[in-house]
Amino acid sequence: MSAVAAPAKKNYLTALREALDEEMGRNPDMVCEGEDIGILGGAFGVTEGLQAKYGKERVIDMPISEACIVGNAVGMALNGKTVMAEMQFIDFISCGFDQIVNMLATYYYRTAGEVNMPVVVRGPAGAYGGGALYHSQMNEAWFCNSPGLQVVCPSTPYDAKGLLKSAIRSGNPTIFFEIKELYRKREIEEVLPNEDYLVPLGKAAIRREGTDITLVSYGQNVYHCLAAAQELQGMGISAEVIDIRSLVPLDEQAIYESISKTSRVVVVNEAPMTCGFAGEIVARISQNAFKYLDAPPVRITRLDTPVPWVKPLELYVLPSLEKIVSAAVATVKY
């Protein structure tokens, strides 16, 4: 008898492609649109093969105009379509900002709940890859500040697939941040279920349990927190790592429950500090979980500067293992 081969592990990018393929297959009214997503399969290959499978009327190559892409998505949603709109890089979502925050985000409210906007705007985000200031942004706080939008940022292949499927099926407009440095990262590949599955929006994941300090993050910085937790363990400090996964809706309760156990918290994200989402989490902790705290909450974020191209400078302005460990040690000793 021949040995049965172990199931193949899949990367973050493949998980996203599978999510789109499966949702296109189950929903004949779903369409995808974006720059180069058809013939070329997208700048990173997330939509590779979808146009050949579903046709040019459902996988649409669009002009280089993010305002046009999102405006077209709004129009198609008004005509009964479910839409995935790709931004080639999330940095350039600013060119479609008006259509997102003044049209996409507000339709449900201004029609008194009569009109949904089943549109997911997704794209590659984040730094650490030498992309410099135009290809390294994490601008999620812009959209968390716009009522009516869901905001999601997965850190694992399993979550990338399950959260994207949940966002598509939710019927609500969603900004979906994909960490491009994780697209093909071998170390995080996973065996994904063969059966259909969803990961619920608004439910955090405990990536590591601990008792002395809570590290809260999302996206690529989750892995910096996990590495920091491992190093802290060698110092006799037990760190719990919370991956919030979706920013809006936010699983506040998971954060508070962890802090009720550890009494200390460091929040990590790679967007700038001023008005960044880490500050929002710290504010909610201060308001709703102050009674649990034995030390002030701490933020580790990007410095308030564009992302430099030169690698040493890029690493200088971004969160790092060393910065997280240093902050955690200081917080535990407070």
Domains of the chain: 12-188 (3.40.50.970), 205-333 (3.40.50.920)
10 Å Cβ neighbour count for 209? 12
Q: Tokens for 240, please give them.
A: 């719990």
Amino acid (1-letter code) at residue 71: G
Give CA–CA dist 184/172, Å, rounded: 29
Q: What confidence score (pLDDT) does residue 7 get? A: 84
Q: List, for residues 21-67, the tens digit of each pLDDT value.
A: 999 999 999 999 999 999 999 999 999 999 999 999 999 999 999 99
Torsional class of 152: left (φ above 0), alpha (ψ -120 to 50), beta (otherwise): beta
Active site residue 135: yes
CB 219 within 8 A of CB 126: yes
Q: pLDDT below 50 — which residues of the chain?
A: none
Give CA–CA dist 138/117, Å, rounded: 24
10 Å Cβ neighbour count for 149? 23
The residue annotated as part of the active site, out of 10, 17, 58, 135, is 135
Q: What confidence score (pLDDT) does residue 289 get? A: 98
Q: What confidence score (pLDDT) does residue 1 get? A: 54
Q: What confidence score (pLDDT) does residue 111 get? A: 96
Residue 227, H or E segment: helix 221-233
